[in-house]
Structure 1
Amino acid sequence: SIKDPAEARRFCEQHECPTDWKDANGENCCIHHANIHSCPMGFMKQAEERICGPWIPDDGRIFTHTISTSGKMTQTNWSAKVVLFHEGLTSLIAHIRVGNMQVALEAKSTVLPAI
């Protein structure tokens, strides 16, 4: 258990996470979950959902999310492949877990027809 800010900083900046993200948790990895969720807004209205959030399960069609990853706070590049194929406005959520905290940041993007 982390006792003070200096120990938390050391843990988040220096402690190596498990090689397999599935083994990462708040006790052995600072950022133990990071992924992207996508929700086409047209389908959100049909499903009577108002907000795209990490609690919405991946149904493989309307709501999707990328495979999770994990790592140290000092990692500067986090990347994931997100395939968007439903035309129109799509909500994209970056979802991370640090310890017992969860953070979700949203951006919206317009998906154009394939050329």
Structure 2
Amino acid sequence: MVIGSKIKDLVKIPSLHLESQREKCIQCKKCDKVCQMSLAVQGMVESGSMSNMECILCGQCVDSCPKGVIHYSFGLPKKEAVIRISSTGNKFPTNSPPGNNSKKDYINDHSK
């Protein structure tokens, strides 16, 4: 199944997937509690990427969310910035920093 998912993503075949609206999330973590695969669903919502190879698309997180943050969608997943957290807790996109700034400068300019 993992290989099939990677091929699907590579050739851009539409599929059923989860999407989220992170700005509506109240961080109640009900989605984490009901996940049959014990995934950190709320963390995926916060990061902006609902893609996880271990997710079986059971919909428990969709049904449990009181604000309707998580929903099913069919098609190609929306392109969203992937956030990586450094060992110091700073967040930065996984793509290269813009301009000639070093990654350290970029982190300092964009950390919360």
Quickly name the TM-score band, shorter chain normalised.
Answer: under 0.3
User: Could you tell me the TM-score, scaled by structure 1's length?
Assistant: 0.25
| Structure with more contact order per residue of length (Cα contacts < 8 Å, sep ≥ 6) | 1
User: Could you tell me the TM-score, scaled by structure 2's length?
Assistant: 0.26
Task: Looking at secondary structure, tell me which structure has more helix per residue.
Answer: 2
